[in-house]
Structure 1
Amino acid sequence: MSLSTALAGFDFAAPLAFLALPAPLLLPLLARRLPRARRAPAGAILTPRALAERFSGAAGAGARRTVAPAKILAALAWAALVVALAGPRSLSAAPATPVSGRDIMFTLDLSGSMAVEDFEIDGRPASRVDALKKVGAELIARRAGDRVGLVVFAEKAYAAAPLSFDVDAVARTLRDTPLGIVGHSTAIGEGLGLALRRLSQSSAPSRVIVLLSDGSNDAGTTDPNEVARLAAALGVRVYTIGMGVIDTKTFNGLGDPVDFEALQKLAAIGGGEAFRAKDTAGLEAASRAIEALVVGEAGVSAGVERRALWPWPAAFAFLATAAFALTRGRGAGFAPS
């Protein structure tokens, strides 16, 4: 249905139901054409003439008094029931939603080293995972118009949220995912592989993987570089963000360094770019930079909101049927002498 039609404000979900409207008139006509059943002989009860006249006169008067209202109520009940079956509904234009044609899989490291508190949030010490959840959830929530999915990994990879336009729901999933749910090691290849598998089923013109990690690939059997090559062959770009104050070049034996060189290589193979985040501000800057790189013109998708109205005619049909039953009940009584 077009938007202009929807703005008319009303339609029926099953308009063919109105074909049943003349059924009460047609059924008696069809019944008359059916062959009559033979009646078996039956006995008769002799009733005194005066008593028979009194009974027949009272019943006839009651029937005459109730036949017109009963027919009207029956007709109204049937008509209201048919209207309810047709599914009346009100229509209104839904708010327009931008549609970008991009599918983005956020692939986030939740290994044990993400518990290290070398970041700050609002001037207070915070763990890497807390910073990742804060900045990552904000980045996801800003991707209105994109289909966004979420893969978390450590020793194993887990698809936490499928590709969806509901970016707020994906952001909530990230905030609610606990550390350690998929182990404590870092299997970057497994996380990338699962994200690529989800995007390989997508027909979107632009497909992107955003990988946030703080360590080197030390678990799993999948080579992340091979996954990046496959991603490039499939037209999927890979962006990486390395989280951590110390990297493998400046590592002095203390702390948990980030293998930024490996993340740079992944991004280069995958046709994207690599960013380094030493603190929360750097993480926010990296997310903004990636956001700018994957930006593009967005189309607009307008929808229609439908509200079912069938309970109203259904309730009227029920009341009319109840009134019909009461009217028939009163008409079946005998007139006073």
Structure 2
Amino acid sequence: MPAWLTALASAFDFATPLALLLLPLPLLAARLIPPEREGGSGALRVPPSLVGDTESAGAIAARGRRRLWLTGALWVALVVALAGPRLVLPATALPASGREIILALDLSGSMERKDFALDGETVSRLAAVKRVGAEFIRRRAGDRIGLVEFADQAFVAAAPSFDTASVARTLEEATIGLVGRSTGIGDGLGLALKRLAPAQVANAEGGGPPPSRDKVVVLLSDGANNAGQTAPKEVAELAKDLGVRVYTIALGPIDMADNPNNEQDVVDVETLRAMAEASGGRAFRVKSTDDLESVANAIDTLEGGRAQAPPLPLRRDLWPWPGALALLCAAALLATRRRL
């Protein structure tokens, strides 16, 4: 088979190809059904002298041939439309790693502090996190990404999804004050684990098979745990039992261990580091936007190993075209029908 014919054949397929077996049905019917006996139809024979010269025998034969061709085209178009022709479109393979990642974001009041730089301007911590975090999420195409936001309480802002663009937009729309202004780190991580690995929680409680190591929580906070019902370190131990790696990001220029002016709402670096170590993850310290971008790139590298997933064929239905042709043939048959 020529290459061009092979390429053309691979560009089309049918949703129900067996319907094409109906194409020879009229020919089989004409061959198998016995013809009607002459004079058995009850037709009235009119002498030619009464009909006159309204239409010659040749014109009648030509009109009959046209109607025969239109009827055949109508049948073929209907059968092809029923078979569901489709155009096979090329699809781009997405990178895939099989990972599920939850970004747990601190939305306490201290995230409003303007001590980060972005595009040459001083911006709030939250603004810098939105920019860098959204870019990180969009780069993870092929992974299931979710977003948990926490303050006095924790809530799922975006359930884990392969729609990374939607999750990134949700992050960009994050607002401080919706769930309070305190910092419930333990509750935030706990909710992330619940939405990330519900089946693994059941396995851990019931002695099931060991959990997989393809689930990750990236927790970002700029304060110390002062709200919620759970202790951060205990939740980090649970993450270890579930096989979930926790990367913690301590955000802010001052931490509790180095706070000469006794400022309020400084980041608890030691607790965040202990959480990361307990889960088998890694802790990061961020004091500027450049640090934040470097951390995002580092986590992206640590959770790399993505390969091209097999592309799924995209198909566009073409049946309306033969359906429209069948409609036109039916209209032409009606137009050529001679009304006496």
> Given the two structures, how large is their TM-score scaled by the length of structure 2?
0.80
Question: What displacement does 1:196 show?
Answer: 1.1
Q: Which of 13, 16, 22 is 1:14 aligned to?
A: 16
- Aligned-partner SS, 1:90: strand
SS in 1 for 2:18: helix
* Identical-pair percentage: 50
Measure the CA separation in 2 of the matches of 1:319 and 1:74.
11
* 1:253 partnered with 2:255: no
Shift of 1:226: 2.6
CA distance in 1, matches of 2:226, 2:317: 56
Helix, strand or coil: the match of 2:194?
helix
**Does residue 208 of the first structure (1) align with residue 210 of the second (2)?**
no
CA contact (8 A) 1:189 1:221 kept: yes
C-alpha distance in structure 2 between counterparts of 1:165 and 1:301, whole Å: 15
In the alignment, structure 1 residue 170 sits paired with structure 2 residue 179: no
Kindly indicate whether the alpha-carbon contact (under 8 Å) linking 1:63 and 1:332 is maintained by their aligned counterparts in 2.
Answer: no
Give the 3-state SS of the residue equivalent to 1:296 in structure 2: coil
For 1:204 and 1:64, locate their aligned partners in 2 and report how far apart those are by CA, in whole Å.
77
Residue by residue over 1:15-68, the C-alpha shift from the partner in whole angstroms, topping out at 9 and shown as x without a partner, is 122244345566789998xxxxxxxxxxxxxx9x98997369979968655333
Q: Distance in 2 between matches of 1:151 and 1:114?
A: 16
Q: What CA distance in whole angstroms lies between the structure 2 residues aligned with 1:100 and 1:6?
A: 34
The change in CA–CA distance for 1:161 and 1:30 in structure 2 (over 3 A counts) is farther
Q: Which residue of 2 aligns with 1:43?
A: none
Moved more, 287-296 or 256-265: 287-296
Matched, 1:294 2:291: no
Match of 2:313 in 1: 304
Give the structure 2 partner of residue 54 of structure 1: 50
Task: Name the CA distance, whole Å, in 2 between partners of 1:71 and 1:119.
Answer: 80
Q: Distance in 2 between matches of 1:50 and 1:89?
A: 52
State the partner residue of 2:88: 91
Higher RCO structure (Cα 8 Å, ≥6 apart): 1
Residues 86-116 of structure 1 deviation map (CA, whole Å, 9 limit, x = unaligned): 1111213311222112221111111222111
Contact 2:93 2:308 in 1 (8 A): no
Residue deviations 1:294-332 (CA, integer Å, cap 9, x gap): 22253443232222222221111111111011011xx22
TM-score normalised to structure 1 length: 0.81
Contact 1:99–1:301 (8 Å) recurs in 2: no
Which residue number corresponds to residue 239 of structure 1? 247
Return 5+ residue gaps in structure 2 as ranges.
1-5, 35-43, 200-210
Runs of 4 or more, structure 1, over 6 Å off, are 4-7, 26-32, 49-53, 55-63
The match for 1:229 is 237
Question: Which one of the candidate residues 156, 159, 163 is aligned to 1:159?
Answer: 156
Q: In the alignment, which residue of structure 1 is the partner of 2:65?
A: 68
Greater Cα offset, 143-152 or 117-126: 143-152
Alpha-carbon separation, structure 1, partners of 2:144 and 2:70: 54
Q: Distance in 2 between matches of 1:205 and 1:301?
A: 23
Within-5 A mapping of 1:122-137:
122-137=119-134
Question: Is 1:59–1:332's contact at 8 Å kept on the other side of the alignment?
Answer: no
Q: 2:10 corresponds to which letter in structure 1?
A: A
- Equivalent of residue 331 in structure 2, options 317, 322, 327: 322
